[in-house]
Amino acid sequence: MLSRAPGELFEVDRACVQAAEGAARLLASLGHAVEASHPAALDDPDVARYFTTMYATNAARMLELLGLLTGKTIGPADVDALNWALAEMGRQCSANDYLATVDWLHGYTRRMASWWAGGFDLLVTPTLSSPPPPLGSFNPASEDPKMVGMRATQYATFTLPFNMTGQPAISLPLHWNGDGLPIGVQLVAAYGREDVLIRVAAQPEAAQPWAARKPPVSA
């Protein structure tokens, strides 16, 4: 179980910490062995740099592909400011830098997978680093789009690594803060172990169901 931010770069909201710790206690009460541990690769300081290169080059390629599919050149007016800024970054990436990123990602995924291979079945973390924000909080038109991207990266600090590795993960709304908003808990399994993920996720859902709960403002 990990409830602090990877790399300890910032403070995680207390409600999100409580969500992960509460889920750990719930799983322990259901008969699972739970301990404070996590893959050392999560604390690698280079994660953000290589994730950005991966994301930016994919954004550049996606806009190019959309242009081919639609028969028009995709310009800044066709996408939001953050996606355009990322695509611009991606276009400036050299082939050498791109291949270095691919090499790093291959090593990172192996380092991450080794923690599960060492005997752990699931990693428990908060899903996000802070409670659900108001709509528009990440509107890139309101400020420097790259700053919005940095804030979004911090917000998704627990899910971002597994977007990179491609491991199966699930978010469960097992906690609610004082404003009545659901706070997610993330469970992450080893490669190919969706079966373990779903079987274990079903247990806290049965013990602490949420289907009938709704936040104060919902549609």
Cβ–Cβ contacts within 10 Å for residue 9, how many?
A: 12
- Would you state the structure tokens that stand for residue 36, as one six-digit string? 């404070």
- Would you state the structure tokens that stand for residue 115, as one six-digit string? 């923690």
**Rounded mean pLDDT, 50-76:** 95
Sequence ranges of the domains in the chain:
6-207
- The torsion defined by the Cα of 43, 24, 113 and 46, in degrees rounded to 10, comes to -10
- Would you state the structure tokens that stand for residue 184, as one six-digit string? 């997610």
Q: pLDDT tens across 27-51, in order?
A: 999 999 999 999 999 999 999 999 9
pLDDT given for residue 15 in this prediction:
97
16 contacts 139 by C-beta, under 8 angstroms: no
Q: pLDDT tens across 107-151, in order?
A: 999 999 999 999 999 999 999 999 999 888 888 775 688 888 888
Which amino acid appears at position 109 of this protein? T
pLDDT at 218 over 80: no
Q: pLDDT tens across 163-191, in order?
A: 999 999 999 999 999 988 999 999 999 99
CA atoms within 13 A on the CB side of 209: 3
pLDDT at 16 over 70: yes
Q: What is the pTM of this model?
A: 0.90
Architecture category of domain 6-207 in CATH: Alpha-Beta Complex (3.90)
Between 170 and 214, residue with greater pLDDT: 170
pLDDT at 62 over 80: yes
